[in-house]
Amino acid sequence: MFRDSDTTMRILIPAIPTYDIFAPDIINIYIPPEAVFSNQLIVAPTQIRIEATKGLLSITGGTLVTDNAEAALQRPQFYGDERDELTIRLKLRSDSWIPQLGSPSAWEQGQALLRGLRRRADPDGRPAERDGWETVVTPALVARCNQLACTVIQRVNSEELIIRVPSVPEYDITYPEIIEIVAPRQAVLTDRAILASNVLTIRPAPGTAHLFFHFFEESSQQMALLDPALGGTPITQAEMIAASTLRRRVVETIDVVNGTDYNITVNPGRPLVLVLDIRNDTWRVSGVPLTMTEPIKNALIDGLRSEKAECTGWNAVVAARRAEMVAGITVLSQHRLSIRLPPLGGACTAPPCTTALGFQIRVPETISLTVPGVALTSAETIPTEQEGYPPNRLVLAPNSASLESREVLPLVSGQTRTGQLRYFSEQWYTFDPGAAASAAVLRVDVDFNVQQSRYGALHMQIYEDMSLSTIHYSGCAVSSGCGDGVSVGSNGRSCRCVRNDLAASPTATLVLDKGYTVFETPSLGYAPVAGGLGCQKLTRRMWLSVRCVVDVCGDQCRYSVSMTALPYTIDDGFSLTAPIAAGDWHYFRIPLGTYDILDMTFGRRGGFPPGATPEYPNYPTSSANADADAAHYPASAANRRGLTPGVNERLILTEHGIVGAAYARRSQCVSSAAVSAGSSSAYEILMEAGLRNQQQTTGLFCTDSTRTGDMFIGVFAEALVNNVTLPPRHWYVITISHERFDPSDLVSRLARPGCLAYGQWREYRILTSGTTDGTLDAQVNVPVTAIYIRRDAPPTEDLYDAVARWPLQRLAISGCEVDQPTVWYVAVTLERQWLADGRSPPLQQRRFQLTANLRQSNVSLMQMALGTRVSIPHNYLCCGVYRDFVVPELTRSLALRVEITVHEGSLSAIYLKHQTCARSPDDIGADESCIGRCQMQWLTTYDPFTLAPAYATAASVTVPMGIASADMRAAGGWYISIGSAFDGRVANFSLIAELVEAPVVDRFVPLDEDGAAAARCGRFCVVLDEDVTPIIDEDEDVIFGIGRSSSAPRRGSGSACELLPVALALTAAIIVAWSGGVAAA
């Protein structure tokens, strides 16, 4: 705020971005008394008006927008039937309709809005028509919005509005009316009039056009007499060259009652003058006499087009002789004009001509007339086909019918056929993929004509039909028409026309129709699916037609066609190299059992030039990377799958190794829609080629009881990658290795192949007979999650006898009863993928080999000389499991002695026990020594204070013989049990076993002196101290004292002190006995 003088004050208002109004703001100015010397309130006589930003108005739809013909406004409307209502929907943006709009209280604003629907000035300066919008429709709208009701306006919300237009039968226009809409200021909150951004065009009732030659003017039948399909005689090539008729024609036949019909004929020599009548419309002409502008005449000539494209046919000749054609147009009235056709021979008759091109055709041409809207007052184009009237067409015929071959050639998988066709000639082929339960993919390639710098093109059609017999189309003679398929002459069979027979066959189905084919790879026998089993759609005999539809001037359409059979069901050893069109799918099925391994390889066919098979490492990606790949595919070489006539640019790159993927899923087809949507459940295996940073071109699938069913493989070729259109044909290679595994029992030392998928268990069984094979040693050659072993039943995650977990790949175990036959179950597992991916390195689903070795548990020392040492090398143990060996049939006089060496890792203990195996903790007492007739040695001990472990690498254990410990010898079998570490440590160890005998006595009998004298045992008697208590064992042998033995207590204890008196007494007895023996000697 600035005070410029005593009477002037300036107020500067800064920018306020958040200021937003939908209606004008009126600012009043008040000067408070404190601001002036008079101390009086001053009110400014003027106000400041801030206009709201003008909104936007548009026509968004409505039935009158959709059906904008004059007849729609004339049509009666039935009350309450919304289908008959004519509506216009309006939408405001950045503004709002006043709240009362559409109600009687705002009838004046409503009428203003309805008057805002007004006719825009005609672009050609034509005045408003007498019964047009402003004179008929506007009054009808305004009359229905008054103080009582306003039924023609509905305010939907603050932005949307519907205008209902009543029926106005008197509405009548001859040329289009353009209706613009203005929302008046009083109808919107901004108080500013808004012109709609688009308009509504009302079309008049279309006129009709009627084309005929002038010599039919007195006839009622007109052009039908020139249509060969209706039995008429067409205008011939010779007549077009002469520009006059050359033969007598019947133009009308009059029936004579009770007499001969009378024909009205036209003699030869009549000029070829086309007459064109317009009804319900007028030509856009002016002046006296009536004239038509040159642009309109040219548009009329352009409206006469042939469906053929011969180099010397109608379209080419008329384009070259346009000046003569335009010069032949004469306006006869506002409803009629004529076109005199010039002679279309090789010389110009009305220069300038662009070329001396003569009319010459080898197949009939049909000339269709489309009357352009620019030539009519209504500006409405009149099409060739008109309801209720014959089409405006003219047939031109060659001087004589061309000779064609009716032969249908067989297509064999892997065979390439070449051919050449004159313009519009046709060749048929046949093949039956369904007979071999297969689909098929075709390759149809048209050669590039270097001299003409253009391609020919083929119209390709494929029909499916089993009713036709191939014999009717083989060994055919060249002819101009269809034969009976039976008669045989000197030049061959009079063959039927397969196209006619297919048209007449009720079982024939057109399965493919592609016009202007230059480079196509259609696949047959598949169907797009959303799931289920319908992707393989069995097809039967196919009939392929190729017709040359682009005239290669001075040459023919040269092409090649081949077929590759794609079997539906594939299996082990299958290998296929096949083409596939960009954007297409191929589907294969593989039957799977309960324990199969399916190994698939998917990749690209090689042999293409450098750069023809690019990689797309970042697929999918944004359009920002599109330029980097543009060099591979110039815009001129984009996929041309719908070529138009006259292709004159050579395709640079048409085929390459596949850029795509193979998706596999069990029990149902891969859903293309689900894959496109990115659904992770759409497939179970993905193999890619040419995409992403790493190629994943192999796939492995392992079945089990929960993963059975046929495997469906879907191969897909990408059509667009990184905003680059790929070549139309890809080539891929797929190979299958399918193995079915032997479910029988494992055999020792024989590797059994298998495979593991995520979350799978593989279960096997192996039998042992006794001590000769009592130890099971199982090993896999690749990392797995775990190896489980259980006796007599399959293992589970909770029930097992032994388990070796990742990263271990080996597990060995002995049953306690190694001399008994045993059934062992072995399971190999792989965890779920999210867990497997967390390993380092990650575990993968893959093939593996399981080798189960059955090792001997028998140590037969009794068969050997005393003192023989038996070595048991290369033993493996882990995971808290025991290994057991048995020394059978020992005598009472011998003791077992075993030495153990730990070469790697650590073990918990070694046990020697009579008649059975030893286990911890069942056979360990409170003082951590072995209970019963058992001797042991701890191999892992712990510091009594720190509990730090100490691992022994060697030990020796002997069954006590009563020398320093109580005699534990006993006749029968002795078990050697080795306990593995319980902390998961793995051990490799070896054993040496031997039998020893007592050095002095083999039996100690605890008697007193009197008892010894009575027993007469002499020096072999030992008299023990009275404190030593004898114990009688189960064999009625006498053993001493403590009742248990341990060579090395696991933790610090006083048990060694307790044995000291016994040891000293025994030592003294031995000395006495030995001394006595010497004295006796």
Residue-by-residue DSSP string for 948-989: -EEE-SEEEEE---SSSS-----SEEEEEEEEEPTTS--EEE
To 10 degrees, the CA torsion angle through 777, 781, 782, 788?
A: -20
Residue 1079 confidence (pLDDT): 35
- Hey, what are 721's tokens? 């990658």
Pairing assessment for the beta strands 393-397 and 235-236 based on DSSP bridges: parallel
Q: Enumerate residues 6+ apart whose C-beta is below 8 A from 74.
A: 167, 168, 169, 171, 172
Q: How far apart are CA 23 and CA 730, in angstroms?
A: 63
- Hey, what are 236's tokens? 């011939």
- DSSP assignment letter at 133: I
Residue 624 confidence (pLDDT): 31
3-class DSSP state for residue 72?
Answer: helix
Q: How far apart are CA 161 and CA 156, in angstroms?
A: 5
Q: How far apart are CA 328 and CA 179, in angstroms?
A: 39
> Which domains does the chain show, CATH number per domain?
56-124+132-146+160-202 (no CATH), 208-397 (no CATH), 408-567 (2.60.120.380), 575-740 (2.60.120.380), 752-855 (2.60.120.380), 870-1074 (2.60.120.380)
Q: Enumerate residues 6+ apart whose C-beta is below 8 A from 1033.
A: 933, 970, 1039
Residue 217 confidence (pLDDT): 54
Distances (CA, A) of 806 to 760, 765, 782, 842, 906: 15, 22, 10, 11, 19
What number of other Cβ atoms are within 10 A of residue 564's Cβ? 21
Q: How far apart are CA 1013 and CA 1021, in angstroms?
A: 9
Residue 621 confidence (pLDDT): 37
To 10 degrees, the CA torsion angle through 31, 32, 34, 40?
A: 90
* Beta-bridge partners for 491: none
Distances (CA, A) of 31 to 38, 39, 40, 43, 45: 11, 10, 8, 6, 12
Mean pLDDT by 10 residues, the chain (1081 residues): 85 83 81 88 86 88 92 80 81 92 94 94 85 94 94 94 94 90 92 92 89 65 63 85 87 70 79 90 90 95 92 91 93 93 73 63 92 91 90 89 85 94 93 88 92 87 94 86 81 87 94 91 87 84 94 90 94 93 93 85 75 49 32 32 42 79 89 83 86 68 79 91 83 91 88 89 92 94 96 94 94 90 95 92 91 92 86 92 93 92 95 93 90 92 90 94 83 93 87 85 51 48 45 44 43 40 46 40 32
Three-class SS string for 285-329?
Answer: CECCCCECCHHHHHHHHHCEEECCCCCCCHHHHHHHCHHHHHHCE
Q: Which residue's structure tokens are 């598949």?
A: 526
3-class DSSP state for residue 747?
Answer: coil
Distances (CA, A) of 1019 to 540, 892, 1003: 107, 21, 12
Q: Enumerate residues 6+ apart whose C-beta is below 8 A from 565.
A: 413, 414, 433, 436, 438, 439, 440
Number of H helices, E strands in the chain: 14, 71
- Hey, what are 182's tokens? 């203005």
What number of other Cβ atoms are within 10 A of residue 1076's Cβ? 12
Residue 783 confidence (pLDDT): 95
Q: Do 173 and 207 touch, CB atoms closer than 8 A?
A: no
Q: Enumerate residues 6+ apart whose C-beta is below 8 A from 326.
A: 294, 297, 298, 301
Q: How far apart are CA 610 and CA 820, in angstroms?
A: 69
Residue 1069 confidence (pLDDT): 46
Q: How far apart are CA 198 and CA 708, in angstroms?
A: 62
Return the closest-CA partner of residue 215 out of 286, 151, 265, 156. 265
Q: Enumerate residues 6+ apart whose C-beta is below 8 A from 836.
A: 758, 785, 830, 842, 843, 844
Q: How far apart are CA 190 and CA 187, in angstroms?
A: 9
Please write down the long-range contacts of 632-640, taking CB distance under 8 Å and 24 or more positions apart: 632/724, 633/724, 633/725, 633/726, 633/727, 637/727, 638/725, 639/582, 639/719, 639/725, 639/726, 639/727, 639/728, 640/518, 640/519, 640/728
Three-class SS string for 586-647?
Answer: EEEEECCCCCEEEEEEEEECCCCCCCCCCCECCCCCCHHHHHHHCCCCCHHHCCCCCCCCCC
* Beta-bridge partners for 1069: none
Q: Enumerate residues 6+ apart whose C-beta is below 8 A from 644.
A: 516
Residue 1008 confidence (pLDDT): 54
- Hey, what are 437's tokens? 């339960």
* Beta-bridge partners for 596: 740
Q: How far apart are CA 820 and CA 839, in angstroms?
A: 40
Q: How far apart are CA 479 and CA 560, in angstroms?
A: 24
Q: How far apart are CA 481 and CA 401, in angstroms?
A: 9
Answer whether the bond into residue 620 is a cis peptide, omega within 30°.
yes
Residue 582 confidence (pLDDT): 92
Amino acid of residue 290: L
Q: How far apart are CA 677 and CA 679, in angstroms?
A: 6
Q: Do 550 and 452 touch, CB atoms closer than 8 A?
A: no
Residue 479 confidence (pLDDT): 80
Residue 964 confidence (pLDDT): 72
- Hey, what are 42's tokens? 């001053």
Q: How far apart are CA 29 and CA 701, in angstroms?
A: 85
Q: Do 568 and 437 touch, CB atoms closer than 8 A?
A: yes
Question: Measured in Å, how far apart are the chain's first and last C-alpha atoms?
Answer: 144
* Helix, strand, coil shares, percent, the chain, to 5: 15, 35, 50
**Length of the chain, in residues:** 1081
Question: Per the confidence metrics, is the pTM higher than 0.75?
Answer: no
- Hey, what are 947's tokens? 């509990």
- Hey, what are 50's tokens? 């801030």
Residue 216 confidence (pLDDT): 62
Pairing assessment for the beta strands 235-236 and 249-254 based on DSSP bridges: unpaired
Q: How far apart are CA 90 and CA 101, in angstroms?
A: 13
Distances (CA, A) of 946 to 679, 754, 803, 938: 57, 47, 30, 18
3-class DSSP state for residue 930?
Answer: strand
* Beta-bridge partners for 567: 438
